[in-house]
Amino acid sequence: MKRAILLILLLLFFPLVVNAASINDTKSMSLKEALDLEGIESNYKYNYGKKDATIYLFMGDGCGYCQKFLRYVSSDSFIEKYGNRVDFEIYEVWYNDNNTLLFQKVAKYFETTANGVPFIVIGDEYFVGFAEAFIPEIEKALDKEISSTKKTNVIKEVKDNPDSINPPDIEEEEENPDEDTTKEEDDKLKERSKKEIITLAIIIVLAIFGSLLVVAILVILFLLNRREKKKEEEEEKKAKEN
């Protein structure tokens, strides 16, 4: 009986493992890996020399504007100008919850929301969306970071201080003709948010149900134990009388 009770308690109180998203488990890609993922052909070849700046890119697999940005940074003209001096750290956020959490925290760092991709970080500046009109500002930010003696690494700062930067609530932004994100991309992000809310609700319900189940079983075990003691007392009393 005692072994059965112990086994039940162990099963009930065995910790429930939930695959919560963590910025310590993110997975980044090189530019070459991102080009391969999106099926983009390019003459780009990684140069292992010293890099003077890093472009951090948050993208979605299949995002049209992300692909446009990837074509731009892998173009012959960009390679000729920056190829040997710029490194890339790329995070896919539509199908990787850990990368999504990092994206949200980086957006929060810049006091904005993680509502659209591509989200490009260069030094202490960021860009949402991509169009040819963005190129002068992007290259200006690159030139600034390359010439700077003190490099800015927002990703490292966010990862080193994850608790100080809470992810923002994903809210619907007003339509902006200058923001080059498609309706399809926004819909995917909203759908991901709905799934996360549903998952959280299910976890809460299961936790409540599990707690009630634990209480019920403990009460039953208490009553059974009490009944056994009472039976033992009665048998002991009869034995004394005899």
CATH number reported for the structural domain that contains residue 44 in this entry: 3.40.30.10
DSSP SS3 for 47: coil
Question: What residue numbers bound the domain in which 148 lies?
Answer: 21-180
**How many independent structural domains does the chain possess?**
1
CA–CA separation, 181 and 239 (whole Å): 86
Residue 132 has pLDDT above 80, yes or no: yes
For 191-227, the pLDDT digits (tens) are 666 666 776 667 776 777 677 777 778 778 777 777 7
| Residue 199 neighbours by CB distance under 10 Å | 13
Within a domain: residue 185?
no
Within a domain: residue 4?
no
CA–chain centroid gap for 169, Å, is: 14
Within a domain: residue 137?
yes
Q: The pTM is what?
A: 0.62
The residue among 120, 238, 123 whose CA lies nearest residue 179 is 120
| Residue 23 neighbours by CB distance under 10 Å | 20
Within a domain: residue 209?
no
| 192 touches 100 (CB < 8 A) | yes
Average of per-residue pLDDT across 118-133: 96
CA–chain centroid gap for 62, Å, is: 18
Within a domain: residue 167?
yes
